Amino acid sequence: MQLTDRIYVAGHGGLVGSALIRRLKADGYTNILTCGSRELDLRDQGATRAFFEAERPQYVFLAAAKVGGIHANSTRPAEFLYDNLMIAANVIHAAHVTGVRKLLNLGSTCIYPRDAAQPLREDALLTGPLEETNRAYAVAKIAAIELCDQYRAQYGSDFVSAMPTNLYGPGDNFDLMGSHVLPALIRKMVDAREAGTPTVSVWGSGTPLREFLHVDDLADACLFLMQHVSEPGPINVGTGQDLSIREVAEQIRAVVGYAGELAFDASKPDGTPRKITDVSRIHAMGWHHRIALDEGLRSTVEWYLAHRGQVRGEVVVG
């Protein structure tokens, strides 16, 4: 991938897409293609095909998706399944028919079975039932991996799939009804600190174990995979390190400077008991994460405080 090649970042306005744009520009890439969801609905096959035929990107980062936390996934599963299926199918097929040189498909480690052995290995895919609270989203992401692999098998398309663990960082979704756990906790604690609220409610028991990857580390991994890797199947991207929701909530409380108590609401769903990725495959390829969680939390809180008047809610990112 050369600095002047035509590079399309699908989903440039989202958490992952905006990090990719920052990284590409910082590295000197000068021919970056973007198109917002108001101008191009990637769920529309004809519009997506027309965009690819007109713009002729040479490289594609497929970061567009409908995303959300447990509440959004469990209450609107049909939307999460349909929208993500359509986005993936339309972009991957358009990339094939217009001769895109390489495509990187971004998924999620929620593709793995709920009770898969930990750490999650890539070969655990399709070996058991999925976590019920995000099954619809996971099925769409599994279909996207399969589509990339079958275009590779039938046509020789250089399509690669990366499965990042739980992400956070600048540009995250801080809407309390649609966000993931880390940005939701940041917002809750900032609000509680400023209002003098004595207690912050945290969904679940606090015992589930989670792994968190800063989105700038993911952007680094994406460029690494685009430049150096051409293999089928999912490739895990993470830190290989996890901690409990209680521990991450306490770290956020310290960074935010909130002096109140944390009240864990066990009536709310915990989701998967543990989710940590086996990152030995990408480590063997030569990539490792660089941003420690405490450093990443500080920069994320600073970004939120500076941009909270503009933070996005849960949307389809085109």
Has 300 been labeled as part of a binding site? Answer: no
**Res 210: pLDDT:** 94
Q: pLDDT tens digit string along 12-45?
A: 999 999 999 999 999 999 999 999 989 999 999 9
pTM value surpassing 0.75: yes
**pLDDT tops 50 at residue 75:** yes
Percent of the residues in the chain that have a pLDDT greater than 70, as a whole number: 97
**What tens digit of pLDDT does each residue of 145-174 get?**
999 999 999 999 999 999 999 999 998 988
Partner residues linked to 8 by β-bridges: 33, 60
70, pLDDT greater than 90: no
**Which has the closest alpha carbon to 169: 16, 10, 11?**
16
pLDDT at 317 over 60: no
> In the chain, what are the domain boundaries?
7-172+213-241+275-291
**For the ranges 142-151, 179-188, 243-252, 286-295, which has the lowest average pLDDT?**
179-188
d(CA 164, CA 85): 18
137 is catalytic: yes
Query: Which of 124-138, 249-263, 303-317 shows the lowest per-residue confidence on average (mean pLDDT)?
Result: 303-317
Amino acid at 288: H
306: CB partners within 8 A, 6+ apart: none
Share of the chain above pLDDT 90, in %: 85
- Strand-pairing partners, residue 316, are 66
CATH level 3 topology of 7-172+213-241+275-291? Rossmann fold (3.40.50)
Give backbone dihedrals phi and psi of 282, rounded to 5 degrees, phi first.
-75, -30
Confidence at residue 107, expressed as pLDDT on a 0 to 100 scale? 97
User: Does 15 count as an annotated binding residue?
Assistant: yes
289 known ligand binder: no
CA 274, 245, 171, 220 torsion-angle sign: negative
Under 8 Å between Cβ of 148 and 230: no
Which of the four pLDDT bands, split at 50, 70 and 90, describes residue 312? low
Lowest-confidence region among 88-97, 153-162, 219-228, 306-315: 306-315
Catalytic hit among 8, 29, 112, 137 = 137
Q: Which tokens hold the place of 255?
A: 């960074």
Is 169 annotated as belonging to a binding site? Answer: no
